[in-house]
Chain A
Amino acid sequence: MSFDVLVVPEDPANNGYILKPLISRMLAECGKANARVTVLSNPRTKGYEHAKALLRNQLFLRYRHMKLILFLPDADGKNREGEFQALEDEANRQGVRLLCCAAKEEVEVWLLAGYRDKLEQRWQDVRSDTSVKENVFQPFLAAYGNPKAPGGGRDLLMAKMLSSYGALLQLCPELAELERRIREILS
C-alpha cells in the first residue's frame, strides 16, 4: 500500500518544484522511499492565511485518507508556533495527521542552502532576510537557473542540492525537526 503524503504550500506555482523533491527525499530517509508525494495545486492556495483557511474548511475533510499532510508555508519573520499547534490539534480531532513547518524565512532558502558558495551574502543574513526571494533567490536563479526548464530550473537545482541533504538539515534546523517528527510518526 502506498504511503500518500499531501504537501500544502502557500503558493504551488513555484514552491512545488522545491517541496516535492525535498519531501520525497526526506520520506526516503525515513524509510518511505516509495511514498507518493502530491503538492496541492487545486484548490490553489494564495498565501498563508488562505492556505490555513483551506486546511480548516476543506482539506482536513477531503484529504482524511492521506497518511500525512504537511503544511509548509514561509515563516516571513513571524513566530507561527501557536497557530501551528492549534491547527495540528484541530486536524488531530478530525482524525488527520498534520505536521506544520515554516521555512525561515521563505521556502526558497531550502534550495539556496545547497549553493552557499555561489551567494554573495553570508548564510546568517540569507536565513534572516524576510525578502530573501527578491533579494537573493531571484538574482541567483537568473544566474544559475535554466529559463528553458520548469520553474526557471528550480527542480534541476533542487535535484542537485539534495546530494548534500545532510548539510541541508544542519543549515535549516526546522527541516531537521520536521524529519524527526516524521520519524516519530512512522515508528
Chain B
Amino acid sequence: MPADTIAFVLRRVGRATQNSISRLGFAARFFALVLYHSPAALRRVQLTLREVYFSGVLSLVIICVSGLFVGMVLGLQGYDSLNKYGAGDSLGIFVGLSLVRELGPVVAGLLFASRAGSAITAEIGLMKTTEQIAAMEMMAVDPLARVIAPRFWGGVLSMPLLAAMFSVMGVFGAYIVGVRLIGLDSGSFWGNMQGGIDFWPDITNGIIKSIVFGVAVSLIAVFEGYDAKPTAEGVSTATTRTVVGASLAILALDFVLTVFMFRGAAS
C-alpha cells in the first residue's frame, strides 16, 4: 500500500476519533448543564407535565398494541417450547419473567426512542432551524431551562411508566393466548406467575433498567436536537442519529445492566 494512502487513512481515522471524543465531551458537558438547569425547570411542573403528555401519553397506543402482540407471540411460542418438556403450565412465569426483566424495558425503550425520541429531536432541531432557540436566548430566556430540561425529564418520567404498561399488556396478551385460546388453567397461569416473580429483584431490576433507558434515550434525543445543523438535512440527520444511537445505547446498556443484575442474583 503506498505511503500516501496509509497517511490518508490514518488522517481520516485520527480525525474521526478526535471528532468522536470532542462530541462525547460536548455531550457530557451538555448533560451536566441539563442537570444544573433541572431544578428550575422542575419547579415549573406544568412544563414537565406537558412533555410527559407528549412523550408518554401520546406513545401509549404504540406501546400498548406492541405489548399486546409481543405477549400473544410469547404465549404461543412459549407454550409450544414448554409443552415439549411437559411444562406448559409454567407459561405464566415464563411470560412474566421475560416481560418484566427484559422485553418490557428493552422493547418499550426501542419503541420510545423511535416514537418520542425522534419527535423530541425533530422539534428541537426545527426550533433551532427557525431561530426559535436564538429568539429565546435573545429574550434572556435560557433554552436549556425552558426547552431542554423539561423534555429530558418528561422522557425520563415517561419511560418506566411505558415499560410497565408494555409488560402489563404483554401479560394480558399471553393470558388471552394461553388461557382463552389454548385452554391452560387460569389459576395455574396466574399462580405460577405470582409465585415465581419477586418484587425484588425481578420487578425492581426491570424498573431500574427502564429508568436508565429513559435517561439514555432522552439525553440522546435532546442533545441531537440541540446539536443539529439548522438545515432540513441537519434535522433529518439528527433524527436518524437519535433513533440509531438510542437503540444501540439501549441494547448495550441492557447487556451491562443484566451482567450486574445477574451477578447480584447469583451471589
Partners in one complex: no
Residues of A near any B CB (own CB < 8 A): none
